[in-house]
Amino acid sequence: MKIKPIDGDLNPLGEDWPSQSYRLPDQSIVRLNVASDSRLSEWSYFWLEFYSGDIRPAWYRVFEKGKQPTEWRPLRSSVKQVLKQTDVDDDDEDPRDAQQERKGKFGAAEKLLAGQYLLEMKLGQGDDEHELDAVAFKVRPAPPKPAPKPGEIPISMTRPVCSPSAVASLIKLPKPAVNGLSMIAPWRPKGGPEAVDFYTEYLKVNGQRVAEYLWPGILLVTLLSYLQEKHQIALMKSEHDKLALKITEGRKSPQFFFTDTHRQAFLAKLNSPFPEQEMRDYFLEYNGVDDPEAGKKMLDGIRPIRQSLSALDKNSVILFSIDAA
C-alpha cells in the first residue's frame, strides 16, 4: 500500500520543482523534493528529507510517465556528495549553515531527456517497507545556447583553443598571490590602447617569467591537450580549476595552473621521447590546419613546460596564460 502525501502536490516553483510531504505509520514526516530546471543544469536532482523520526534505508526509481518503472536503486548519497558528483560549486556557503541545511537529506541526480517523469521512493522500517506515492515532474528541453559572436572562440577547459596569433606566458606566482587573481583577472580593460590591463600589471608585480616560448601560443595549448590525451600527462587540471575557469571565461583565452603536485607526478615523464610526426598529426586533427613544422614546434614546447615544473615548490604555482590580444 502506498502512502499518500499529506500536503497534496505542491509545485510552488512550477512543474520543474515539485515537493510533497508524507506521514509514515509511526507519525514521522518525510519530504520528497525534485529540482529539474534545464535552464540551470542538465541534471535533475531528487532529495529525500527526514523531518522527524529516525533516518531509514531508502530506495528510489525515476521513469518516464506511461512507461514501465525502472529497477529500485538504493539512495545512499548525501547532498554534499551529489553536488560534488555533478560539479556544483557550493564553496561560497557558510559551512555551519550548509551542515544544518543538509541535515537528514539524501539524494541522487540523473541526466534525463525532455518529458514527463515520476519519482518513486520506498523506505525500510524493520521488516516492513513503506512506498511513497509518486511525485510527478517535468523535464523541459534545454534552451538553445546563444550563437557565438563573429570571431569568438568557444571556451573549453578539456580541449582549449585560442587564436593563431595568441602569445603564451609561463609565470611563477607565490601561492598568496593566487587569491588576488580572482578579483582582477576576469575583466579585460575597456577603452583604447592606453587603458590599463590590471591583470597583466598584477602578474608583472607579483610574478616572474620562468620560461620563454618563441612560437605562437596555439602550439603550446595544443601540446597540453596532446600530453593529456596521448600520454596521460594531465597538466590542465589542478586544485585551482574553478579559478582557472573563471579567468578563462573572463579573458576569453585559456589559463591553467601548474602546481607542485604536477611537478612530482609529471616532470620525469617529460624527459621521455615524443614522436614528432604524431605531434604534427595531432595538431592537424586538433586545429584543422596543416603546419609542416607543427610537430617540431610542439616538441620545442616540452622544454619550457619542463623548465616551469622544475621551478615549482610547495609554496608556488605556475600560471600558464594565453594573451588573446
Q: Which three cell numbers stand for residue 125?
A: 522500517
Q: Is the dihedral of CA 120, 126, 128, 130 positive or negative?
A: negative
- What is the distance of C-alpha 28 from the center of its chain? 38
Q: What is the pLDDT of residue 192?
A: 53
Residues 6+ apart with CB under 8 A from 117: 36, 44, 62, 63, 64, 65, 136, 137, 138, 139
Residues 6+ apart with CB under 8 A from 101: none
- What is the distance of C-alpha 105 from the center of its chain? 23
Q: How would you write the pLDDT of the chain (325 residues) with one tens digit per residue?
A: 789 998 755 554 556 688 899 999 989 999 998 988 887 788 999 999 998 878 889 999 999 999 999 999 999 888 778 877 877 655 444 455 445 556 778 999 999 999 999 999 999 988 889 999 999 999 989 877 666 666 666 778 889 989 898 999 999 999 989 877 877 765 555 555 556 678 888 899 999 999 999 999 999 999 999 999 999 999 999 999 989 998 888 888 899 999 999 999 999 999 999 999 999 999 999 999 999 999 999 999 999 999 999 999 999 999 999 987 5
Alpha-carbon dihedral angle through residues 208, 213, 215, 220, given to the nearest 10 degrees: -90
CATH architecture of 2-139: Sandwich (2.60)
Q: Which three cell numbers stand for residue 103?
A: 541535515
Q: Is 158 helix (H, G, I), strand (E, B) or coil?
A: coil
Looking at 2.30.30, 3.40.50, 1.20.1330, 3.40.1760, the CATH number of the domain 167-323 comes to 3.40.1760
Q: What is the pLDDT of residue 235?
A: 97
* Structural domain spans, the chain: 2-139, 167-323
Q: What is the pLDDT of residue 93?
A: 44
